[in-house]
Amino acid sequence: MKNHTKLFLASLFLFTLIACKEKVEENPFVFNGESFLKLVQNSIKGDEESKKTLKGLITFDAALSSFNKIEVDSLEINNSNYYTLLLENQNPVYNLFAIVDKDLNLILKDESLNGYLNLNFKKSGSRIFAVITEDFSSKDVLKLKRVTYYSLEEYASNLVFRQFTEFKSPQKEAQQVISVISDTAIVTNIFYPSTKLKKDTRDVFSFDVGMVYYKSNNNFFDSLIYREIRSYSGTIVNPQIIDSL
């Protein structure tokens, strides 16, 4: 009788082990948009294990409640899955755009974004772009918009184009509109009521293969914006963003 009892208990123990093992195996960690978002939120909260898992993506300390926007999106490039992260904080120092692959390798990270952010995707020619628009102020009353294009490729992504697109002051307005995007060039039209420029000025940004960047020899609009910002002499109350780029 004792032997039967021992055999029964051993069988029960073995069955329990198998059941527990099967239960664990039924719930493996799956990396997708939802789990990526959870890792990011935990990292912002200060969870060291989540920070370690994300391999240096979140390197700052900020309250989760201070973020206006935490957006995760997914895209496919050459049948491989990639995930984008956009963080918009009340303090633009903590704004962030990043791309990781399905193995959580960090493909791109940009911490130089200002103000209110919006992300969309655009395909032109053979290129796929992530496009971020920024809406922010300088010197309190100068309203600015800027656009950044990131070329998305398998194993690597690059910031390839960044330009101001809109300027508004109490006295004047100016706008730069992208009219053509191709593998080799980006063409813009500039509208500015000024005697220094024609009312409609065209600029061409050619793709430099060595620099992996669209650049213009003229750079009309950015030059105009920086000149307007430097020349403004009004009283400044709010703290200013310094963009080293």
Residues 137-196: tens digit of each pLDDT:
987 789 999 999 999 998 889 999 999 999 999 888 999 999 999 999 999 999 987 645
| 149, β-bridge pairs | 131, 161
pLDDT band for position 8 (50/70/90)? very low
Instruction: Give kind and range of the element (H or E) at residue 163.
Output: strand 156-168
Domain spans of the chain, in order of start: 30-113, 116-235
Express each pLDDT in 110-139 by its tens digit: 999 999 999 999 999 889 999 999 999 987
CA dihedral over 38, 40, 45, 49, signed as positive or negative: positive
Express each pLDDT in 221-230 by its tens digit: 999 999 988 8
> Over the chain, what is the mean pLDDT?
86
Q: What contacts 24+ positions apart, CB below 8 Å, involve 206-215?
A: 207/160, 207/183, 212/151, 212/158, 212/160, 213/158, 213/159, 213/160, 213/161, 214/149, 214/160, 214/161, 214/185, 214/186
**DSSP 8-state symbol, 211:** T
pTM of the model: 0.83
| 191, β-bridge pairs | 175, 200
Express each pLDDT in 203-215 by its tens digit: 999 999 999 999 9
